């Protein structure tokens, strides 16, 4: 089943629940619900992206806050799966370094380090985190928002594949 058809067919409460799984910004979810019905998957993805980038900082931070820290265990199956290639085979030294760098990042930027971890290895992830620490706060907010946009797209697709 296509994503657009799936979202269109859901009652409002079920559609809200499904969309929150993809992106926890209530403003984004409300806008996605208001834009139904979607004529196609490309239209749904285009609206999702467009609406994401029209939100403000507080909406982005709301979405970021719903994510577990990279490297920490999560009860959310999607988050665990997205991080499995990063943390599954990594050793204790990696986990200590990741925890420490996460702490530095959160103190510097005031939100969780957000990255679309699907397909990234442990070394790539840690290098990305360290590189992003050099960003100024406004630039980093936009980088993290871009990562959330990638995650949202993947999760929209997962609605009909998992």
C-alpha torsion sign, points 156, 6, 32, 29: negative
Query: Region 61-77: what's the mean pLDDT?
Result: 80
| pLDDT digits 0-9 by tens, 104-151 | 999 999 999 999 988 888 888 899 999 999 999 999 999 999 999 999
Residue 133 near residue 102, CB atoms below 8 Å: no
pLDDT for res 143: 98
- Of the CA atoms within 13 Å of residue 21, those in its CB half-sphere come to 18
Query: Region 58-65: what's the mean pLDDT?
Result: 98
pLDDT for res 118: 84
Among the listed residues 24, 16, 106, the one whose alpha carbon sits nearest the alpha carbon of residue 65: 24
Catalytic residue among 26, 67, 95, 111: 67
| pLDDT digits 0-9 by tens, 24-46 | 999 999 999 999 999 999 999 99
101: containing domain? 3-158
Domain CATH for 85: 1.10.3330.10
Total domains present in the chain: 1
> Is 67 in the active site?
yes
């Amino acid at each position: 089943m296509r994503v657009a058809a799936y979202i269109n067919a859901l009652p409002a409460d079920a559609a809200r629940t499904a969309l929150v799984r993809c992106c926890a910004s209530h403003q984004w979810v409300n806008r996605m619900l208001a834009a139904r019905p979607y004529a196609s998957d490309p239209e749904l993805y285009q609206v999702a992206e467009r609406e994401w980038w029209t939100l403000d900082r507080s909406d982005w931070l709301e979405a970021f806050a719903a994510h577990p820290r990279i490297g920490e265990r999560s009860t959310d199956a999607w988050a665990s799966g997205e991080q499995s290639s990063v943390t599954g085979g990594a050793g204790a030294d990696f986990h200590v370094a990741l925890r420490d760098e996460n702490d530095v990042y959160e103190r510097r930027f005031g939100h969780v380090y957000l990255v679309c971890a699907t397909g990234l290895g442990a070394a790539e992830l840690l290098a990305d985190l360290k590189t992003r620490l050099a960003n100024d706060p406004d630039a980093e907010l936009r980088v993290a928002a871009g990562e959330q946009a990638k995650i949202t797209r993947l999760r929209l697709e997962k609605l009909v594949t998992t």
